[in-house]
Amino acid sequence: MRKIVASGKTIEEAVRNGLLQLQTTEDRVRTVVLEQPSKGLFGLIGVKEAKVELEELPDASDQAERFIREVASAMGLEVSVSRSQTREGLLLVVQGEGELGQMIGRRGQTLDALQYLTTIVANRYSDKPIRIVLDAENFRDRRRKTLEELSDRLAGRVVKTRKEVVLEPMSSQERKIIHSQLQHHPDVRTFSQGDEPNRRVVIAIQDRNVKG
């Protein structure tokens, strides 16, 4: 967080000057008036300028990016992080030179864990809940396609054998992909069972007697 002292003929002007230096807006700083302007002879303004101290407030997104870079550095990786707002939440995409596989882990388990920790960090600096989606090397999209193909293949097996299939434990984000892919399937239904972190998706034959 940066902290500066700015001056001006009035408090308002001093604040404006400080905001220009920080390249930010008033809602993202804490302002402390250090000195009031004083009037000189005959009431002229300017003998003593106003002074204010402006301190940048912690930004949740900035803190999330900083945390990711620090973790990557501890793993011997130098990365950059880009961000965008999506329907799923704040998307943070990690990019870097070389292989980022160790940040992704087996089936994205390391990436999921880092996403969870990053979400905790970001919410420490926000007055409203923030959902973080962390991605690297386009893993989320590749994983989604893999799960969709897996869903269709297993649904076919369930229809053929008339026996339900229990998938391996998955994150809520991945379970949602399975449920969405098969929600309109005419012959199978899906539901989740078990407790986190071992909650699993079950694909079963559609019970025609069950409505909704």
Render pLDDT for 20-35 as a digit per residue (tens, 0 to 9): 998 888 888 889 999 9
CATH topology identical between 3-56 and 60-137: no
Instruction: Retrieve residue 35's tokens.
Output: 């000195």
Euclidean distance between CA atoms 62 and 65, whole angstroms = 5
Task: Quick: pLDDT tens for 81-94.
Answer: 999 999 889 999 99
CATH tag, 60-137: 3.30.300.20
State if pTM tops 0.75. no
Single out the residue of 38, 111, 46 nearest to residue 79, CA to CA. Answer: 111
Task: Quick: pLDDT tens for 113-171.
Answer: 999 999 999 999 888 899 999 999 999 999 999 999 999 999 999 999 999 999 999 98
Q: Which runs of E-coded beta strand occur in 21-172?
A: 29-35, 38-39, 45-48, 50-56, 79-86, 89-96, 132-136, 165-166
Euclidean distance between CA atoms 189 and 205, whole angstroms = 6
CATH tag, 3-56: 3.30.30
Domain boundaries along the sequence of the chain: 3-56, 60-137, 142-205
At residue 211, does pLDDT exceed 60? Answer: no
Per-residue pLDDT at 148: 97
Single out the residue of 167, 169, 108 nearest to residue 139, CA to CA. Answer: 108
* Contact predicate 76/109, CB 8 Å: no
Burial of 92 (0-12, 13-18, 19+ CB in 10 A): buried
Which residue did the predictor score with more confidence, 44 or 19? 19
pLDDT band at 56 (very low <50, low <70, confident <90, very high): confident
CATH 3.30.230.10 given to domain 142-205: no
